[in-house]
């Protein structure tokens, strides 16, 4: 089944803390058709002819804050190439971390990296996920106060999520995080 649209939060790669999202639709007429309630006082010849796009019909409330200004400011300030470079850098750091995980005994990728998200777990000698060791390692890294890792469940096993997306994240930060993960793994018996 073909997807008709999707939405994305702008809080990491578009340097926008909260309250701004993107929404893509396959057919640009779908939102105005579904959401338009045009009273007589908003009707005009330009709108009726299709000469202009009334963005008020692309969201639910008519009187809404100008959230798009945040995104415009970021695009204007960083430029599209600056945003592309930042995103590519984060994806490269995730792939670098994933490569380290794959080459280190005692670790395994829970899933292939997805953009700048890496999910991993500690494994036992037979290569099976070790939920207790993984959780202990995550808690030990978080206790260091250097980074904050979250978790998820992959195929019923506890997995650490490393989401690389902060604007100031550099490869050195990933090096330090990897050192902390390896140290935590040794301490947790992984």
Q: What is the CATH number of the domain that holds 109?
A: 3.90.1150.10
Return the percentage of the chain with pLDDT > 90, whole number.
57
Query: What's the rounded mean pLDDT across residues 112-137?
Result: 96
If one counts every other C-beta atom within 10 angstroms of the C-beta of residue 12, the result is 18
CA–CA distance, 128 with 157 (Å, rounded to integer): 10
Residue with tokens 């992959």: 154
CA–CA distance, 35 with 56 (Å, rounded to integer): 9
Query: What's the rounded mean pLDDT across residues 156-174?
Result: 94
Instruction: Find the helix packing angle between 68-103 and 171-188, rounded to 10°.
Output: 50
Q: Please tell me which residue, 142 or 9, carries the higher pLDDT value.
A: 142
Are 165 and 128 in the same domain? yes
Identify the domain boundary among 79, 96, 128. Answer: 79
Are 62 and 121 in the same domain? no
Are 94 and 71 in the same domain? no
Q: Please tell me which residue, 159 or 44, carries the higher pLDDT value.
A: 159
Q: Which domain holds residue 145?
A: 81-188
Are 115 and 60 in the same domain? no
Are 66 and 90 in the same domain? no
Residue with tokens 């893509």: 24
Residue 167 scores a pLDDT above 90: no
Number of residues written out for the chain = 190
Are 86 and 68 in the same domain? no
Are 59 and 139 in the same domain? no
Are 68 and 85 in the same domain? no
Are 114 and 157 in the same domain? yes
Residue 51 scores a pLDDT above 70: yes
pLDDT score recorded for residue 63: 59
pTM of the model: 0.76
Are 90 and 147 in the same domain? yes
pLDDT range class, residue 130, cuts 50, 70, 90: very high
Residue 71 scores a pLDDT above 70: yes
pLDDT score recorded for residue 1: 42
pLDDT range class, residue 120, cuts 50, 70, 90: very high
Are 98 and 38 in the same domain? no
CB 134, CB 152: distance < 8 Å: no
Identify the domain boundary among 79, 103, 132. Answer: 79
Q: Please tell me which residue, 30 or 113, carries the higher pLDDT value.
A: 113
pLDDT score recorded for residue 11: 77
Q: Please return the burial class of 33, using the count of CB atoms within 10 Å of its CB with bins 0-12, 13-18 and 19+.
A: exposed
Residue 174 scores a pLDDT above 60: yes
The number of distinct structural domains making up the chain is 2
Q: Of the spans 60-69, 112-121, 181-190, which averages the highest pLDDT? A: 112-121
Identify the domain boundary among 79, 99, 129. Answer: 79
Are 132 and 66 in the same domain? no
Average predicted confidence (pLDDT) for the chain: 87
């Amino acid at each position: 089944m073909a997807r008709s649209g999707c939405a994305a939060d702008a809080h990491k790669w578009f340097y926008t803390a909260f309250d701004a999202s993107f929404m893509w639709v396959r057919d640009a007429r779908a939102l105005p058709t579904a959401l338009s309630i045009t009273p007589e006082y908003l009707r005009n010849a330009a709108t009726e002819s299709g000469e202009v796009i009334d963005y008020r019909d692309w969201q639910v409330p008519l009187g809404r804050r100008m959230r798009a200004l945040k995104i415009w400011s970021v695009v204007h300030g960083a430029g599209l190439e600056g945003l592309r470079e930042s995103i590519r850098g984060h994806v490269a750091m995730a792939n670098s971390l994933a490569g380290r995980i794959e080459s280190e005994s005692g670790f395994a990728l829970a899933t292939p990296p997805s953009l700048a998200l890496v999910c991993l777990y500690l494994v036992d000698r037979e290569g099976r996920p070790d939920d207790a060791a993984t959780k202990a390692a995550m808690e030990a890294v978080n206790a260091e106060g250097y980074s904050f890792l979250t978790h998820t469940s992959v195929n019923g096993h506890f997995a650490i999520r490393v989401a690389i997306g902060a604007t100031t994240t550099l490869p050195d930060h990933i090096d330090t995080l990897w050192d902390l993960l390896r140290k935590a793994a040794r301490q947790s018996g992984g």
